[in-house]
């Protein structure tokens, strides 16, 4: 697991650290069977950069992870498995699939 240049972790919620560890574990499982081997999981944004108004990124409750380095047939499985393993208090979605900004967005979003 590594950070894209410029990504800042200051103020990141502990729940997001746990979510990224869950994601990294699943990444390693899928990457091990990818030829050529996928690169490390990369956090592309935390509470840095520009996000939409009211974004959970600004509160430290969201992280984006690059998915375009995974095999195309494994991306949706990766996102779905991470979502299931993180549980109902997290929203985990694939954004811009096959686009230039493809990534998995994870945010802590308790429903109660």
Residue 74 lies in domain: 2-108
* Contacts with 98 (C-beta within 8 Å, 6 or more apart), sequence order: 72
CA–CA distance, 22 with 20 (Å, rounded to integer) = 5
Inter-residue contact 64 to 45 (CB < 8 Å): yes
Per-residue pLDDT tens for 64-102?
999 988 888 889 999 999 999 999 999 999 999 999 999
pLDDT value of position 99: 94
- How many separate domains does the chain show? 1
Q: Mean of the pLDDT values across residues 26-50?
A: 76
Flag whether pLDDT at 51 surpasses 70.
no
Query: Order of strands, edge to edge, in the sheet holding 103-108?
Result: 2-3, 42-45, 62-66, 103-108, 90-95
pLDDT above 70: residue 36:
no
Give the global pTM. Answer: 0.87
From 15-19, 40-44, 47-51, 70-74, the region with the lowest mean pLDDT: 47-51
* CATH number, domain with residue 8: 3.30.1380
């Amino acid at each position: 697991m590594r950070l894209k240049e410029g990504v800042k972790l200051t103020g990141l919620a502990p729940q997001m650290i746990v979510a990224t560890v869950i994601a990294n574990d699943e990444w390693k499982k899928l990457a091990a069977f990818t030829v050529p081997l996928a690169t490390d999981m990369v956090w592309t944004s935390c509470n840095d950069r520009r996000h939409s108004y009211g974004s959970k990124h600004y509160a430290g409750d969201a992280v984006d992870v690059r998915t375009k380095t995974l095999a195309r047939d494994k991306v949706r499985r990766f996102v779905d498995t991470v979502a299931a393993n993180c549980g109902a208090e997290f929203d985990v979605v694939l954004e811009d699939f096959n686009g230039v900004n493809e990534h998995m967005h994870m945010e802590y979003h308790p429903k109660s």
